[in-house]
Structure 1
Amino acid sequence: MRGLIKLKVLFVCSGNVYRSPLAEALLRKLRPDWIVDSAGLRIVLPIAEEVKEYLKEENALDLLKKRPEGLWEKRLIEYDLIVAMEPIHKDYILKLCPQCRNKIVVWNIPDPYLMDKSDMQKIFHQIKAKVTELASLQPQVY
């Protein structure tokens, strides 16, 4: 008998300020049946206001986490899929969890920190497109 899997996904970026919390909230909206989380390599800033504004427009602000979280707070081995925003994030994840190698994908999305609003919006739209593609997956167990 075939059944649907409740996929457990972790998004990782540098500070859990822009990219990963945005991706987390968008995927939570599209796939409420999945377990979705995010984390950063280092935590020094709150989640960006620009992310909150974008998620408000997407009717997903209520799905945004309250504060950034560090990668060290996560049990990486428990995730089915880990999305690293850049190759450096993958390298860091592998130092913490070498056995996670086959669970990691890299999206190559640049950090919007210090970008102007127009370029930042392009990054946000790029993340939304990738999240929408990911949400269309139908993982199954046999």
Structure 2
Amino acid sequence: MSKRILFVCLGNICRSPSAHAVTRALAPDWQIDSAGTSDWHVGEPPYAPMQQAARARGLEMADLRARQFTVQDFDAFDMIVAMDDSNLARIEALRPAGNTTPVRLLTEFGDGAADHVPDPYYTRDFDGCLDLIETCARGLITHG
């Protein structure tokens, strides 16, 4: 069964496009997208060092472009997956009355070792970010 999943971080240039690329590689029949809660990078490709780390793992994300999360995303997706509590709160603040689309943290699908996906734009740990995203994406896919 095809799922429609939206991954959301702050700028949509590191974490959410990485989750997008990882999950579409692992579940090619799912409809995957990514967005940011800010408008800082709208229209830009993922951050070059993040792309380089992903490419080293055989993941391509150069085709992705940053976009901002919108209220319409609640109806367009089966689940919205945030990278941290701050972005989850920003998403929930936009939830239309009566909407029941699940909004979850990506790390809820992980091994319990992390409570959020650290932003590699600041930490510079692109490989660690990808490791965590891959673990959680596998859990998400198993969860269905």
TM-score, L = length of structure 2: 0.79
- Amino acid aligned to 1:122: G
- Which residue number corresponds to residue 112 of structure 2? none
After superposition, the C-alpha distances for 1:28-75 in whole angstroms (9 at most, x for unaligned) are 0111110000000113243111221122122221x5543211102852
Amino acid at match of 1:7: K
Distance in 2, matches of 1:65 and 1:105, equals: 26
Deviating more after overlay: 25-34 vs 123-132: 123-132
1:9 aligns with 2:5: yes
CA–CA separation in structure 2 for the residues paired with 1:55 and 1:66 = 13
- Map of 2:91 onto structure 1: 93
Distance 1:102 1:44, change over 3 A: closer
Check conservation: 1:81, 1:103, Cα contact below 8 A. Answer: yes
Q: Percent identity?
A: 27
Contact 1:18 1:113 in 2 (8 A): yes
Q: What residue is the counterpart of 2:138 in the other structure? A: 132
Distance 1:81 1:125 in 2: 22
| 2:22 counterpart of 1:26 | yes
In the alignment, is the contact (CA less than 8 A) between 2:7 and 2:82 conserved in 1? yes
1:81 Cα offset (Å) = 1.2
Q: Is the 8 A contact 1:22 1:64 kept in 2?
A: no
Q: For the residues of structure 2 that align with 1:115 and 1:26, how far apart are their CA atoms? A: 20
TM-score between the two structures when normalised by the length of structure 1: 0.80
**Which structure shows the bigger proportion of residues in helix conformation?**
1
In structure 1, what is the equivalent of residue 73 of structure 2? 75
Query: Which runs of at least 4 in structure 1 moved beyond 4 Å after TM superposition?
Result: 98-102
Distance 1:35 1:85, change over 3 A: same
Tell which deviates more after alignment, 64-73 or 50-59. Answer: 64-73
Query: 1:113, CA displacement in angstroms?
Result: 1.5
| Higher Cα Rg, which structure | 1
Q: Larger deviation: 12-21 or 107-116?
A: 107-116
Question: Which residue among 39, 45, 59 is the counterpart of 2:35?
Answer: 39
Q: Which moved more, 1:17-26 or 1:38-47?
A: 38-47
CA distance in 2, matches of 1:100, 1:21: 25
